[in-house]
Amino acid sequence: MHCSTDNRGRPVALALTPGNVADITMALLLLQAVARPHRLIADKAYDADSLRRWLKEGC
């Protein structure tokens, strides 16, 4: 299960995938389903140049 939440921890976008799908694979899809974030809290599984570029483009 992949999920993005609002600032209160409430789910706002959810995706169910097989267990072998990496978190970073779903990151952009989930983030694009909601308003562009001002801040992002994520673990090292989300450390990808493509995600960093997408986030910087919105600033």
Find the angle CA(45)-CA(37)-CA(35) to the nearest 5 degrees: 120
- What pLDDT sits at residue 13? 93
pTM above 0.85, yes or no: no
Q: How far apart are CA 45 and CA 17, in angstroms?
A: 16
- What pLDDT sits at residue 59? 60
Contact in structure between 13 and 3 (CB atoms under 8 Å): yes
Cβ-based neighbour number of residue 14 at 10 Å: 13
Contact in structure between 54 and 29 (CB atoms under 8 Å): no
> Among 4-8, 21-25, 55-59, where is mean pLDDT lowest?
55-59
For the stretch 8-45, pLDDT in tens is 999 999 999 998 998 899 999 998 988 887 888 888 88
Residue ranges per structural domain of the chain: 2-57
